[in-house]
Structure formats: C-alpha cells, structure tokens
Amino acid sequence: MIGGLQAHQVPLRSFSADYATINQEKWYTPQRDVSFSGSALTVFNGENCSERTFVPFQVKEACIKGAFLMGVIHMWNMVIPVGALYGFAQMGVVLSQSYTIFNLMTRAVTRIDLHSDGKQVTLHFGKIGK
C-alpha cells in the first residue's frame, strides 16, 4: 500500500518485429511512499519551474498560419485591388491570430494535483486572474 493506494507493478516489455513478450523476472516496484499533503499530491507544478521554457507548437503553428494568411491577402490585393477592405482583412487576421494565441497561452495547464483516491486529478490553468 502506498499512501492508501494499492501499488501496481508494471512489467518491463521486450519487443520484436512480430510480437511483444513480458519479462517476468523484471517488475517495477515503487521504493518510496507517496507523500500526500492533505488529500492531494502535486504531480506537476509548472508555476515554480526554474527550467528554460519553450513556446508550445500550437503557438508557432498559429503564427505561421497568420503569416500565410497575410501573404494570401496581400497577393489577392495585388491581383484584384480591394481598397480599404485590404486593411480590414489584415486587421481581422491579426486579431484572430492574437485571440488564438492568447487563449492557448492562458489556458495551458500549469499544475496537476492527484487526489488520494488515485483516480481523480485537479488541473490548474494559466495565470490569468492571479
């Protein structure tokens, strides 16, 4: 028993081209007890992270998509000049992509807490409103 939870042993597997077999001699068994503070254990805490952080791929994808759309609008304006609609179309792309990036960055999971039952987790999102 680990902190009120039953320890599950996970076998190490060896794979070949056609099948997978379980190595019965090698089982992983946790060596330390899980220390719950109250009724939850923080599994991941990105708020106190001192490591170098990177921009998620979805943000990079949104930037590339926005740049591509700006190029399409510019080329369309070169073929068929649309006057003031050109500026509104560019402004729409910039606002749309900014909204997408803002939502991606503020709705990112920053902390995960595991409850003592071992089945429920609490997700904490972004830093807006803190």
Per-residue pLDDT reduced to its tens digit, 25-77: 666 666 777 677 778 887 778 777 777 666 778 888 999 999 999 999 999 99
Q: Which residue, 2, 30, 4, is CA-closest to 117?
A: 4
All structural domains of the chain with their residue ranges: 38-125
Calculate the dihedral angle through the C-alpha atoms of 121, 122, 125, 130, rounding to the nearest 10 degrees.
-160
End-to-end CA distance of the chain, in Å? 37
Contact present, 128 and 110 (Cβ < 8 Å): no
Alpha helices (runs of H) in the chain, residue ranges in sequence order: 57-79, 84-106
Rounded to two decimals, the pTM is 0.53
Per the model's pLDDT, the better-predicted residue between 95 and 118 turns out to be 95
Confidence of residue 22 (pLDDT cuts 50, 70, 90): low
Is residue 92 over pLDDT 80?
A: yes
